[in-house]
Every structure is written in C-alpha cells, then in structure tokens.
Chains A and B, each alone.
Chain A
Amino acid sequence: DTEVTQTPKHLVMGMTNKKSLKCEQHMGHRAMYWYKQKAKKPPELMFVYSYEKLSINESVPSRFSPECPNSSLLNLHLHALQPEDSALYLCASSLGLSTGNTIYFGEGSWLTVV
C-alpha cells in the first residue's frame, strides 16, 4: 500500500480566507513533502519535513504555513492568498530522506483563489 490521502480534492477560497489542506499517510514514512504545480508546469518543491521537523523551506511566502502534528499527518495552512497561488498542491511521503528512498505522491488538492 503506497497511499497518500489528501483532502479536500477541490477548494475555492477568497483572498481574505483562512483554509487548510490536509495530508495523511499510514505507511510509517518519516518524511513528508509539499509540492505546488501550476497548470502545464512540472511540480515544484515547497517544504520537506523529517521526523516532524521542517528540513527544507524553498523560500515559500509566509502566507503558506506548513504543520506536521505527527508523523502521519501534514497540513498546509493558507492565509491571504493571491489568485496566482491557484494551483494543484501535492503532498508526498517517503520512508526516509536519503536519495534512495522513493517518494510517493497523493492525488493533490486543486486550489482556486478568487
């Protein structure tokens, strides 16, 4: 089982709203990731968590706030977003952080900012 579950699948939010994207895995993976994918572009890394601690922040604006409450859950809190933040947000996980650990992706959350 290599399942990463993301909710919601679709989200529409206004620029003054606060919302959250959620991600869950039960594979015992200790590393979790957020990627962002704009239309017709490849995914881009946003954040990496290892053992519930933030390992990488790819200079993401502070209106995106990640949280890893435990090793199975990863949230992305959204506040004061802009229309250009509309994209597919992908969560992923891997057993560990080394380059030989396969990263498995969820189906993504489609975000539209109006």
Chain B
Amino acid sequence: DAKTTQPTSMDCAEGRAANLPCNHSTISGNEYVYWYRQIHSQGPQYIIHGLKNNETNEMASLIITEDRKSSTLILPHATLRDTAVYYCIVSFWTGTASKLTFGTGTRLQVTL
C-alpha cells in the first residue's frame, strides 16, 4: 500500500489558513487520498478526499498535484478547535476490500 509522509507538527495562528502537506509518491491510479483528523480521545473525523481533481467542502480544500504524488489540505480560517492530529491516507485496494493505513500524522497546533 502507498505510504504517506507528513510533517510531525505544525503551528498556525488563529484566523489564518493552515496548509498541511502530504507526500504520497507511490500512489496508484485508482487510489484515493483521504484526510482525517483526530482530536484527543475522540474517533477520527473525516475531512475530505479526492482522486485527481482538487476538492472543496465546508471544512477544507484539498489540492492534489497533477502527478498525484503529493497533496495539501487547506483549512481556510483555522480556529482553536482545529487543533488536532491530521492524517493523510491513501486508500489501498487489497483485492477484497479497501484499507486505510494511517501514518503518524501531523499535529496541528492553532494558537491565538
């Protein structure tokens, strides 16, 4: 399955955009990029996913490079409640089911 590489931690000022990068250079053609976040002691929360095109929803935007080897999650106006661990995951097809293999993620700290 395709591995992802993310910075261990990032800081962002409240109200500013948070741009979280992810490298997934071994991604295959039909594998999706997913972003989840996990706030302490809670289950992972789905944020957004994409295959080739950029995507936007009410929470965030996902920018995927043309070669699909990297992506960036953008939280347009970060708030203190966005402080969490953010996981970039490539959904891998095993032949019988898809798998989400979590990496170590990026710990985003939003500060005043």
User: Does A associate with B in a complex?
Assistant: yes
Q: Is the CB of B43 within 8 A of A106?
A: yes
Give the residues in chain A near B105, CB-CB below 8 Å.
42
Give the residues in chain B near A65, CB-CB below 8 Å.
none
| CB-nearest residue of chain B to A105 | B43
Q: A104-B46, A107-B43 are in contact. Are A48 and B103 (CB under 8 A)?
A: no
Q: Is the CB of B96 within 8 A of A97?
A: yes
Most A Cβ at <10 Å: residue of B36, B96, B100: B100
Describe B's contact surface by its main secondary structure.
loop
Binds A, one of B11-19, B61-69, B87-95: B87-95
> B32, B42, B99, B103: which contacts A56 (Cβ < 8 A)?
B99
Give the residues in chain A near B102, CB-CB below 8 Å.
42-44
| CB-nearest residue of chain A to B93 | A99
- A2–B45 Cα gap in the complex (Å)? 10
Query: Does A68 interact with chain B (Cβ within 8 Å)?
Result: no
Q: Is the CB of A105 within 8 A of B94?
A: no
Q: Is the CB of B97 within 8 A of A55?
A: yes
A93-114 interface with B by 8 A CB criterion:
97-108
Q: A42-B103, A97-B98 are in contact. Are A105 and B93 (CB under 8 A)?
A: no
A44-B102, A45-B100 known; 6 other A-B pairs, CB under 8 Å? Answer: A42-B104, A43-B44, A45-B99, A56-B96, A99-B32, A103-B34
List, sorted by A's number, 14 A–B pairs whose CB atoms are closer than 8 Å.
A4-B43, A42-B102, A44-B102, A55-B97, A56-B94, A56-B96, A90-B43, A92-B43, A97-B96, A98-B98, A99-B98, A100-B51, A105-B43, A108-B42
| Interface positions of A (Cβ within 8 A of B) | 2, 4, 31, 42-45, 48, 50, 55-56, 88, 90, 92, 97-108
